[in-house]
Structure 1
Amino acid sequence: MESPVTNQAEALACTCAHVADERKAEQVVVLHVEPLTFVSDYFVIATGLNERQIAAIATQVRQRAARLGHRVIGVEGEADCGWVLIDLGDVVVHVFTKEARRLYDLELLWGEAEHVDWQGVAPIEPATP
């Protein structure tokens, strides 16, 4: 059963998590960080198995966000560096290699953040003309 979404940022974060999952990302996590930082409301963290998969996940997240009318504020990193960050304002998506995810360990760094059950929230689909 799908849970009701409390706000647009949460809906976008859950949608980004679904997009990463559709691209076979592993260990997809959504953290509600808004009570802990002013930087963003939600972090989406995902692991890609190789550079090509990381690039594909990042591309699909950017494309879905754009189709939904969200502006991509910035993209940092490259797939060959092990970490791509996509800044959507209220949502920041991090796509890591396994090694980079272990190194930066954002889940530990933001350990007080609430984990969001993104699988229980339907992804936002672009409107069809």
Structure 2
Amino acid sequence: MKDTLEIVQNVAEACDDKRAEDIIALDMKNVSLVADYFLICHGTNERQVQAIARSIKDTVEEAGITVKRLEGFEQARWILVDIGDIVCHIFHKDERSYYNLERLWGDASRVNLSYGQEG
């Protein structure tokens, strides 16, 4: 079984594979009881947002992890993928700036991600 940080890296790579933009991970362990990590990214249209969510789901299931919840897939404006210790937020770019989770969870430190592009 991979450790949680490794899974965050794999999920970031899955997002990058679908050309997700501005991929960030927040360490939520000292900030929230909801999850250890939030991964946040966005796509430029509904189909891309759905493709990113699908890529995350496939990646974690290949690693033997069950997706606990997937919400917002049909509308593809803000898809939430709950994989237990990690909650992924895939936004349509318009919604991302509106909800601005990075600012909302400003107390959380950013995780250094290493994947395809700079990160």
TM-score (norm: length of structure 2): 0.91
Q: Distance in 2 between matches of 1:117 and 1:18?
A: 13
1:76, 1:84 within 8 Å by CA — same for their partners in 2? yes
Q: Pick which of 83-92 and 70-79 moved more.
A: 70-79
Q: Does 1:37 align with 2:28?
A: no
Gaps of 5+ in 2: none
Count of aligned pairs between the two proteins: 114
Amino acid at match of 1:38: L
* Correspondent of 1:89 among 69, 72, 84: 84
**Is 1:113 aligned to 2:108, yes or no?**
yes
Contact 2:42 2:92 (C-alpha < 8 Å) held by counterparts: yes
Gaps of 5+ in 1: 1-6, 121-129
CA distance in 2, matches of 1:22, 1:81: 18
Q: Where do 4+ consecutive residues of structure 1 move more than 6 Å?
A: none
Q: Which amino acid aligns with 1:97?
A: H
Distance in 2 between residues matched to 1:55 and 1:20, nearest whole Å? 11
The answer as to 2:64 corresponding to 1:62 is no
Cα separation, 2, equivalents of 1:86 and 1:79: 13
Which deviations, in whole Å up to 9, do the C-alpha atoms of 1:50-101 show, x marking residues without a partner? 0110111100100110010111000011253411000000000110011111
Between structure 1 and structure 2, the one with the greater Rg is: 1
Are 1:54 and 1:79, in contact at CA under 8 Å, matched by a contact in 2?
no
Matched AA of 2:72 = G
Please give the root-mean-square deviation of Cα atoms over the aligned residues, in Å. 1.3
What CA distance in whole angstroms lies between the structure 1 residues aligned with 2:111 and 2:74? 26
Letter in 2 for 1:15: N
CA-CA distance at 1:10 after TM superposition: 1.2
